[in-house]
Amino acid sequence: MIGLMLGDGHIQQRKNSRFIYAQSSLIIHHLNYFNHVLSLFKPYLSEDFVLKNRSFRDKRTNKTYSSVSFATLTLPCFNHYRSLFYDSNKKK
């Protein structure tokens, strides 16, 4: 969890927190890693969760990139990790 937070992970908080992980520039080894992370978080996903896919254009290079992400259920177990990485102004 800590390694993911140092990279592409982030935690949203409402009453409790949920973990969100996204991976962009989807070359095959990145997709394999994303699937591995997804498998680790399966117990924290809703039964009907949907992967979010999106494409975006980098205005600087005019290249189009794709990304995929998932979000866990909102659970109190993620509050501890949120407090480790975010200050009172919600900055990572």
CATH of the domain at 49: 3.10.28.10
Residue 91 lies in a domain: no
The answer as to whether 90 is a domain residue is no
The reply to whether 55 falls in a domain is: yes
26 is a domain residue: yes
Residue 59 in any domain: the answer is: yes
Task: Give the long-range contacts of residues 8-11, CB within 8 A, separation 24 or more.
Answer: 10/92, 11/78, 11/81, 11/82, 11/85, 11/86
**In whole angstroms, what is the distance from residue 28 CA to residue 47 CA?**
26
Give the pLDDT score at 86.
80
The verdict on residue 76 lying in a domain is yes
Look at the chain and report how many structural domains it folds into: 1
14-57 pLDDT, tens digit each: 777 887 877 766 666 678 888 999 999 999 999 998 898 888 88
Q: Which structural domain, as residue segments, surrounds residue 20?
A: 2-85
pLDDT number for residue 92: 65
Q: Is residue 92 part of a domain?
A: no
Q: How confident is the model at residue 60 (pLDDT cuts 50, 70, 90)?
A: very high
